[in-house]
Structure 1
Amino acid sequence: MIVVIAFIANILVAIAKSVAAVLTGSASLVAEASHSWADAGNEIFLIVADRRSVRQKDDGHPLGFGREAYVWSLLAAVGVFTVGAVVSVMNGVQQLFDPEPASDYLIAYAVLGVSALLEGASLLQSVIQARRTASKYRRRSFDYVLNGSDPTLRAVVAEDSAALAGLAIAFLGILLHQLTGDPFWDSLGSILIGLLLAGVAILLINQNRRYLVGFNPPDRVRRGAAEQLLARPEIARLTYLHLEFVGPSRLFLVAAVDLVGDGPEEQVARVLRRIERQIKQDDHIEQAVLTLSVSDEPSLIV
């Protein structure tokens, strides 16, 4: 839902900025228009990420399709860099050497003000969702957005935050241009907006890369999983535990356990399968695999 809201907001803002950029000749507004069109395109990737990542697992994909969220979010982050950042910096550098006369500053300020309201509303929606979800997992909102497993929420919050920061930079660049009559400030604003977008893109690319190559959950989650396993009456010891994100809030669990008693092989296998089925009933567990511990393996300290 927040992605759709952000997409609609970005389309409206991009149109307004593009018209204002043509009327005013402002380099900062050209950068902001490029920024908004890039964001609108990126929201399409995020919508695809949301839809494809929730598909049910099949025989060919035993760990599900959750990682599709990180693939499409990575493509969206690359889009921020290649479209928004590069175009903004190039436009700013070009305007430094061949500035266009700027006019109609009131139009620029009006568009920036309306854009700030729309971007702020979109950011507010995403922050509310982030707080709600972070509270559910007993994490701080900022930490959950930055390091959590939901790439779509992280992208929307990052893009909306960068959009508001970019609007502030554009406002200062246009204002200084108007006050001093020097187009340098407007051009500098465009370059700074591009660098801001590049920084956000690099952050998002790196976070998605971490989850694509295999990212372990926080120690708190590992301790909770270990405690739940050891709380089962059939399990005496836990000697190995592997948890890995395979999608937003979805984990792959592998554990080596020592069962209570010394039953025959068939009985032990049935107990392990039953425990696996029970573990997979948890909404956060995509797949669970249990194996037997060796007697000389040390127990994990929880």
Structure 2
Amino acid sequence: MTDAVPPAAAGGSLTVVIALGANLLVAIAKTIASVITGSASMVAETAHSWADFGNEIFLLIADRRSVRQRDDRHPLGFGREAYVWSMFAAFGIFTAGAVVSIWHGIQELMMPEDATDFGIAYIVLAVAFVLEGISFTQAFRQARAGGKRRGISTGSYALTSSNATLRAVFAEDAAALIGLVLAFLGILLHQVTGLAAFDAIGSILVGVLLGGVAIVLIDRNRRFLIGENPDDGLRNDVLGGLLERPEIERVTYLHLEYVGPGKVFLVASVDIVGDDTETHVAYSLRRIEESLRQNDHIEEALLSLSTPDEPSLLPLVE
């Protein structure tokens, strides 16, 4: 089960904690710089960093709540909590980051103000780039390791992985690094040309970037909340694992659905070897289900019997 990596085991909490600390330091530095310089791009970056800081808190909550053990009222566990809280974080990026940045940029275009102390802005942007780079490196390494396991690119893994916190940190930090470059260009062009419009445009572009990232994250979390199926590679792995069991002759139906980061709900119809009595077959099915549940990545497994006329499933071509 190549994508089944529980967030705690995969270092998800560590990734979020590193991002949280980096964003707090960056947000404070940008706030001071925006007050001193009056730069629209710096104001946009300040809103961006405070939004990211708040979002990391949501992601920490997502990590903590999603790994709770299931109970009678939650038979499929609490894994989808990760997508709920990550959705809150994505909305935070959109409202506190994108909307504020775009609105401030528009205001600056309508009523331009001169910026001062450009050197301070450059220093803060440089320090922010280093801190954001450290945070992004942690998320990138985790995504690259997951991509290698699944045989896909790092970016594809970050986008499609069931690990919502990893995806959010990866996307936010990547956007932060791009946003810092946009802010730098806006401030530099303002300084060189004396036109505050460049600074305002930088603020708007940062807002548009954040809005795009927020929309992507909202859509991905929506997909997992309504029931996202694993990719063909994971489906083939599970099918192969079932067929390797000596009690199972063939599989005619297989449904896999993510119910949390690295957790799936498995439903299958199988043909048990031999032609035993109904009671013995029922016990066999229950033993297989219990064995499947011992896998850290299977939250629940339900098996039923295949009928003789049902065709056997074959591995899908990736």
TM-score (norm 1): 0.98
Deviation, 1:53, is 0.2
Shift of 1:227: 1.2
Q: 2:236 is matched with which residue: 214, 223, 230?
A: 223
- For the aligned residue pairs, the C-alpha RMSD in angstroms reads 1.0
AA aligned to 1:202 is I
2:81 counterpart of 1:68: yes
1:118 aligns with 2:113: no
Q: Which residue of 1 aligns with 2:184?
A: 171
SS of the residue 1:29 aligns to: helix
1:191-202 pair list within 5 angstroms: 191-202=204-215
- Structure 1 segment 241-256 matched on structure 2, within 5 A: 241-256=254-269
The equivalent position to 1:142 in structure 2, one of 141, 148, 155, is 155
Structure 2 CA distance, aligned partners of 1:211 and 1:128? 23
Q: Which moved more, 1:140-149 or 1:249-258?
A: 140-149
Task: Confirm whether residue 98 of structure 1 aligns to residue 89 of structure 2.
Answer: no
Aligned residues: 302
Distance 1:164 1:231 in 2: 47
Of residues 146, 161, 169 in structure 2, which corresponds to 1:133? 146
TM-score by length of 2: 0.93
Greater relative CO, 1 or 2 (CA 8 Å, sep 6+)? 2
Letter aligned with residue 152 of structure 1: T
1:108 aligns with 2:109: no
Counterparts of 1:99 and 1:15, CA distance in 2 = 25
**Which residue pairs with 2:54 in the alignment?**
41
Match of 1:185 in 2: 198
Alpha-carbon distance between aligned partners in 2 of 1:109 and 1:248, rounded to the nearest angstrom: 39
2:44 to 18, 23, 31: 31
> What residue ranges of structure 1 are gaps of 5+ in the alignment?
none
Residue 264 of structure 1: aligned partner: 277
**In structure 2, what residue type is equivalent to 1:108?**
A
Shift of 1:2: 1.1
**Displacement of 1:137 after TM fit?**
4.3
2:5 maps to none
Q: Which runs of 5+ in 2 are unaligned?
A: 1-13
- Distance in 1 (alpha carbons) for counterparts of 2:27 and 2:144: 28
Query: Helix, strand or coil: the match of 1:166?
Result: helix
CA distance in 1, matches of 2:249, 2:119: 73
